[in-house]
Amino acid sequence: MRFVIAGGGTGGHIYPALAIARALERQDATATILFVGTEHGLESELVPHAGYPLQTIHLYGFQRRISWRNFQNVFWTVRSLWEVRKILRAFRPDAVIGTGGYVCGPVVWSAASAGIPTLIQEQNAFPGVTNRILSRVVDVAAVGYPEAAPKFAGHKAHVVVTGNPVREDLLRETREDSCRHFGLRPDSPVLLITGGSQGARSVNQAALALHRHWAGKKEVQILHITGQTDYNNIIHMLQAEGLPVHDGEAGRIVVPYLHEMPKALAAARLVVSRAGAIGLAELTLRGIPSILVPYPYASENHQEINARALEKNGAAVVIRDSELTGELLTATVEKLIADSEKLRSMAAAAAAMGTPRAADDIAALVFDLLNRAGADRR
């Protein structure tokens, strides 16, 4: 079988695509997979690194405000449709899968228009614009949250709640080995702070209070991923106050970025983070309690909707970005760390929301779709 997968721009669209690709290969050893993306999206790095071919098209996302770039993008969108049709004619896929992002639009739309079986995967509790449009023409929509399903009501797509697919190496790491990897002590709780690859300035600023509060104390260790943009500023501020920034003995590790996120999650007893859908899927898969600070400018406020889904199930505490202060964050962390029963309850609630079979279930939906399409043709 031959499959085209489109999705990109950010890791939140690419990592699910890669997980689905591996699941397709597990269920069909002869599967041939081609990714379609752009040269300027993160897929240009992650997809080849994962060992898959990537064919690029010329396309740029539309701005959510009036901008002259949007007029240019109309041209690029029309051109991309021609490029996509050329790719589809040459590759002749049996099915096309989209995982969101603007690159997904012309690829999946063109495939559906050509009668090729199509599936989209929606990560967020409130679906993105591209997938809301595509759900009117595709065959199946696999959604990460039950809350997303009603948003597709009345559309062509058959909606299935599968959960979000995540990388399969997340469950391989152990806490003890992961703590030692970072030079941390396995016998003390680790607080993981992360705002994604670009970081989150408001979270980083509030986290300074955590470093100060536990300075010279070993009850809580801190693994702080600042993001590339804010790293130098945070390091400078910590060092100016004489606080450790890379001292395993003191239980303080501050880094700009981590490729070893599965190890970081395995080490963590509690996580402070934004509320991107795939990051939350990773937290629930590992059963990790969290304090979530949704990005306030996410489209359709989808990060807060994602976060509230975990909060409703008892897996997370949500603090709005506008209400976040160092004092509030410190008090919230301290209260949770001191209440081991509460942490156990949150961990169990998070684990109950995890969907370890999501990628395989989505792959099974694709093959079921192909079987039904074949039966219809017969």
Q: What is the Rg, in whole angstroms, of the alpha carbon atoms belonging to the chain?
A: 22
- State the Cα–Cα distance between residues 131 and 135, nearest whole angstrom: 6
Strand stretches in 86-220, DSSP E: 95-98, 118-122, 140-143, 158-161, 190-194
Say whether pLDDT at 65 is over 60: no
CA 252 to chain CA mean position, Å: 26
272's tokens = 């402070």
**Range 314-337 average pLDDT:** 98
Residues whose CB falls within 8 Å of the CB of residue 313, separated by 6 or more in sequence, listed in order:
349, 352, 353
**In angstroms, rounded to a whole number, what is the distance separating the alpha carbons of residues 236 and 239?**
5
Q: How many CB atoms lie within 10 A of CB 278?
A: 23
Domains of the chain with bracketed CATH: 2-165+356-377 (3.40.50.2000), 169-353 (3.40.50.2000)
> Phi and psi at residue 91, in whole multiples of 5°?
-85, -30
**What are 141's strand-pairing partners?**
120, 159
| Contact present, 56 and 39 (Cβ < 8 Å) | yes
3-class DSSP state of 51: coil
Q: What is the pLDDT of residue 41?
A: 77
CB atoms within 10 A of CB 327: 11
**Residue 46 and residue 298: Cα distance in Å, rounded?**
23
Q: How far is the C-alpha of 84 from the C-alpha of 88, rounded, in Å?
A: 6
pLDDT one-digit tens code per residue, 145-192? 999 999 998 899 999 999 999 988 888 999 999 999 999 999 999 999
Which pLDDT does position 70 carry in this prediction? 46
Per-residue confidence (pLDDT) for residue 69, from 0 to 100: 58
pLDDT at residue 75 is higher than 70: no
Higher pLDDT, 95 or 219: 95
Model confidence at 331: pLDDT above 80:
yes
Confidence of residue 378 (pLDDT cuts 50, 70, 90): very low
Q: Shortest CA distance to 313 belongs to which of 292, 339, 337? A: 292
What pLDDT score was predicted for residue 118? 98
Residues 6+ apart with CB under 8 A from 251: 184, 185, 188, 214, 218, 220, 221, 222
